[in-house]
Amino acid sequence: MNKQYRQTRFVMGVPGPDALPADAGREVAFAGRSNSGKSSVINALTDQKALARTSKTPGRTQSINVFEVSDQRRLIDLPGYGYAKVPERIRRHWQRELPRYLGERRSLVGLVVIMDCRHPMRDYDHQMLEWCVQTGVPSHAVLTKADKLKHGRATDALHTVRRQVEADYPQTSVQLFSAVKRDRISELHARLDHWLEPGVVAS
Ligand SMILES: Nc1nc2c(ncn2[C@@H]2O[C@H](COP(=O)(O)OP(=O)(O)OP(=O)(O)O)[C@@H](O)[C@H]2O)c(=O)[nH]1
Ligand SMILES: [Mg+2]
């Protein structure tokens, strides 16, 4: 367990990017469909049971939640997308705000796109990765809930997504993950270390 992530604490939840803390230091954001397991990934990587609220009800996280790993290093839990029951008005709001956040936030050094490994690369996932290409933000795809698939199936999903990503979003790395089994957390830590390390140029 990478110790520094254990110190992570919740700072605030905000309704939109304009209310985020000052745009200084470095931050990594987590995006993904509702119920894909974003909050669970944040809890697993910080080794805290309930730092980010998880829920069986999709669409629980409807604000941007800010966590501080250490001074000037943040993790940002973005609202889940793609949940049909979220009112159209709110969907339009995020459809506007998310690309603006990706394009304008200078401290944003990387985006982690969380996908359920059983249903990867849906419409909005493509959209997030495409926005990353357009805005030059490096991205990392995490195929989570790997415990829900037999080992061979999970590996197949990984290879399929890697092939797709290599063709369309060549800057994006891909990994498997399981919050339940606490599997491959060190792979995610390594990616975050790389992005959050001060003095290292993000790539
Ligand atoms: N089996 C399994 N279940 C998981 C895993 N990660 C998350 N879940 C379950 O999936 C559901 C959704 O997890 P959350 O972490 O709340 O998902 P989220 O993406 O933050 O959801 P919203 O904030 O509502 O968009 C919960 O019931 C979790 O317990 C995993 O690795 N394995
Ligand atoms: Mg959540």
Reported as a single tens digit per residue, the pLDDT across 120-156 is: 999 899 999 999 999 999 999 999 999 999 999 999 9
Task: For the chain, give every domain's residue range.
Answer: 3-196
Half-sphere exposure (Cβ direction) of 58: Cα atoms closer than 13 Å: 13
pTM of the complete model: 0.93
Give CA–CA dist 165/121, Å, rounded.
Answer: 9
At a CB cut-off of 8 Å and minimum separation 6, what does 172 contact?
113, 129, 132, 138, 139, 140, 141, 165
CA of 39 to the centre of ligand 1 (A): 7
pLDDT tens by residue, 62-89: 789 999 999 999 999 998 888 777 788 8
What pLDDT is attached to residue 131?
Answer: 92
Q: What is the architecture, at CATH level 2, of domain 3-196?
A: 3-Layer(aba) Sandwich (3.40)
Closest CA to 76 of 195, 169, 200, 176: 195
Q: Which of 40, 90, 181 to mutate to test the pocket of ligand 1 (most atoms within 8 A of CB)?
A: 40
